[in-house]
C-alpha cells in the first residue's frame, strides 16, 4: 500500500509539473501573439522606456562617487573607496541640523499653505455658472505658472525693495518705516512659500478640475432631488469624488518633502538671510559646483534621496491602510 501511495504521489507531482509547464508555455504563447498583433504600440512604448533608462537610470552609475574620494584625473573606477566617510562627515557637521531644519520647515510650510488652495480654487471654479468669468479667472490664475524663476524672483525683489517697492511705499504711507524684507531671515520662508503658492495655484488646480469633470452627473441630480444645497453637494459629492486624486498627490508631495528646489532659493538668498534660507539643495550646489567637493556633495544628495524614498514608502503604507488609494 505504501509503495502504491508513493507511486501515486510521484505521478501526481509529475502531472502537476507538466500541467504547469504547459500553462506557462500557453501563457507565453498568448503574450507573444498579443505583442505581434499590436507591435506598433509596443514600439511606441519602447521609446520612452529607453529614454528613461538612458537619462534617468544611466547616470546612477555615477552615484558610486558618494562612497569614494573622487578625483577627476583618476576617474570613477580609479578613485579610492572610502565607504560611508562622506555621509558620516555630513551628519557630524555643524550645518547638518540647520540644513535639515530649514528644508523640512520650508517643505511643510509649502505643503500646508499650498496644497489646499488649488483644491479650493478648483471647487470654486467648478461651481461657477458664468463661462466667461470662469475662463477669465482660469487665465489669470494659470498665467503666473509660465513666468520663469529668474523673472519671478526679480518681481519679488522689486515689490519688496526698501527704497522703491510698493509694499514699503504702503508702509511709509501709513507712517511706518521701510523694511528690508530680504535682509531679515524671519521673512524669508513666508516670502518664498506665498510667492510659490501665487505662482502655482492655478496650474495645480487643473488636475482637480479634471477630476471634478469626471464625477457622475447623476450623483448631483440625485442630491438635488433629495433637497441637498450647493454646499452639501460640494461636501458629500464633489470632495469624495476627488479624494483619490487628492490622496495620490498628497502622497507624492510628502515623498518629496526633503526636495526643495535650489534655483529660486539661490536667487533669493544672501548672506543676511542665510540662517533661514540655506537648504540641502543649495548646500549640494555650493559643495559640488563651487567647492568641487564632488564626492561629498554626491553623498549629501544621495542621503536626501534615500530619506525622500523612505518618507514616500511610509506615507504610502499609511494611506493604503487607511483607505484603498495608494501608489503601489
3-state secondary structure the chain: CHHHHHHHHHHHHHHHHHHHHHHHHHHHHHHHHHHHHCHHHHHHHHHHHHHHHHHHHHHHHHHHHHHEECCCCCHHHHCEECCCHHHHHHHHCCCHHHHHHHHHHHHHHHHHHHCHHHHHHHHHHHHCCCHHHHHHHHHHHHHHHHCCHHHHHHHHHHHCCCCCCHHHHHHHHCCCCCCCHHHCHHHHHHHHHHHHHHHHHHHHCHHHHHHHHCCCHHHHHHHHHCCCCHHHHHHHHHHHHHHHHHHHHHHHHHHCCCCCCHHHHHHHCCCCCHHHHCCHHHHHHHHHHHCCCHHHHHHHHHHHHHHHHHHHHHHHHHHHHHCCCCCC
Spatial contact of 171 and 179, defined as CB atoms under 8 Å apart: yes
The C-alpha cell at 5 is 501511495
Give residue 164's pLDDT.
86
Give residue 63's pLDDT.
86
Give residue 123's pLDDT.
93
- Please give the average per-residue pLDDT across 32-43, as a whole number: 80
Spatial contact of 178 and 162, defined as CB atoms under 8 Å apart: yes
Mean pLDDT (the chain, rounded): 86
Q: Which residue has the higher pLDDT, 28 or 207?
A: 207
Task: Report CA dihedral (55, 60, 66, 72) to the nearest 10 degrees.
Answer: -60
The yes-or-no verdict on residue 121 having pLDDT over 90 is yes
pLDDT in tens, 124-175: 999 888 889 989 999 999 999 999 999 999 999 999 999 888 999 999 888 8
Domains of the chain: 2-78 (no CATH), 84-322 (1.10.3720.10)
Give residue 106's pLDDT.
93
Spatial contact of 193 and 114, defined as CB atoms under 8 Å apart: yes
Which residues, 6+ apart, have CB-to-CB distance to 108 below 8 Å?
Answer: 257
Give residue 7's pLDDT.
44
- C-alpha distances (whole Å) from 212 to each of 131, 132, 197, 201 are 16, 19, 21, 16
CA-based torsion, 300, 305, 308, 310: positive or negative: negative
Q: How confident is the model at residue 76 (pLDDT cuts 50, 70, 90)?
A: confident
Give percent of the chain with pLDDT exceeding 70: 91
Q: How confident is the model at residue 112 (pLDDT cuts 50, 70, 90)?
A: very high
pLDDT in tens, 256-276: 888 888 889 999 999 899 999
Q: Which residue has the higher pLDDT, 3 or 26?
A: 26
pTM: 0.81
CB atoms within 10 A of CB 127: 14
pLDDT in tens, 184-231: 999 999 999 999 999 999 999 999 999 999 999 898 889 899 888 889
CB atoms within 10 A of CB 283: 24
Amino acid at each position: 500500500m505504501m509503495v502504491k501511495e508513493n507511486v501515486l504521489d510521484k505521478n501526481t507531482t509529475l502531472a502537476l509539473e507538466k500541467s504547469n509547464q504547459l500553462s506557462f508555455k500557453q501563457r507565453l504563447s498568448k503574450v507573444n501573439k498579443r505583442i505581434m498583433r499590436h507591435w506598433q504600440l509596443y514600439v511606441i512604448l519602447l521609446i520612452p522606456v529607453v529614454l528613461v533608462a538612458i537619462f534617468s537610470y544611466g547616470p546612477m552609475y555615477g552615484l558610486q562617487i558618494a562612497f569614494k574620494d573622487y578625483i577627476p584625473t583618476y576617474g570613477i573606477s580609479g578613485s579610492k573607496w572610502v565607504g560611508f566617510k562622506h555621509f558620516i562627515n555630513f551628519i557630524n557637521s555643524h550645518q547638518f541640523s540647520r540644513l535639515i531644519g530649514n528644508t523640512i520647515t520650508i517643505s511643510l510650510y509649502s505643503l500646508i499653505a499650498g496644497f489646499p488652495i488649488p483644491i479650493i480654487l478648483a471647487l470654486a471654479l467648478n461651481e461657477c455658472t458664468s463661462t466667461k468669468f470662469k475662463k477669465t479667472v482660469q487665465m489669470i490664475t494659470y498665467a503666473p505658472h509660465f513666468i520663469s524663476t529668474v523673472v519671478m524672483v526679480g518681481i519679488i525683489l522689486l515689490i519688496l525693495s526698501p527704497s522703491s517697492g510698493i509694499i514699503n511705499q504702503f508702509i511709509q504711507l501709513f507712517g511706518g518705516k521701510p523694511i528690508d524684507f530680504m535682509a531679515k531671515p524671519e521673512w524669508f520662508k513666508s516670502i518664498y512659500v506665498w510667492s510659490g503658492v501665487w505662482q502655482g495655484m492655478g496650474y495645480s488646480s487643473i488636475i482637480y478640475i479634471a477630476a471634478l469633470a469626471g464625477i457622475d452627473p447623476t450623483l448631483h441630480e440625485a442630491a438635488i432631488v433629495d433637497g441637498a444645497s450647493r454646499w452639501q453637494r460640494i461636501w458629500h459629492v464633489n470632495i469624495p469624488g476627488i479624494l483619490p486624486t487628492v490622496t495620490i498627490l498628497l502622497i507624492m508631495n510628502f515623498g518629496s518633502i526633503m526636495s526643495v528646489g535650489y534655483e529660486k532659493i539661490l536667487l533669493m538668498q544672501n548672506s543676511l538671510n542665510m540662517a533661514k534660507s540655506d537648504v540641502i539643495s543649495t548646500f549640494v550646489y555650493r559643495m559640488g559646483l563651487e567647492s568641487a567637493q564632488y564626492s561629498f556633495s554626491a553623498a549629501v544628495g544621495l542621503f536626501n534621496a534615500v530619506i525622500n524614498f523612505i518618507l514616500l514608502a511610509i506615507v504610502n503604507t499609511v494611506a493604503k491602510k487607511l483607505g484603498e488609494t495608494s501608489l503601489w
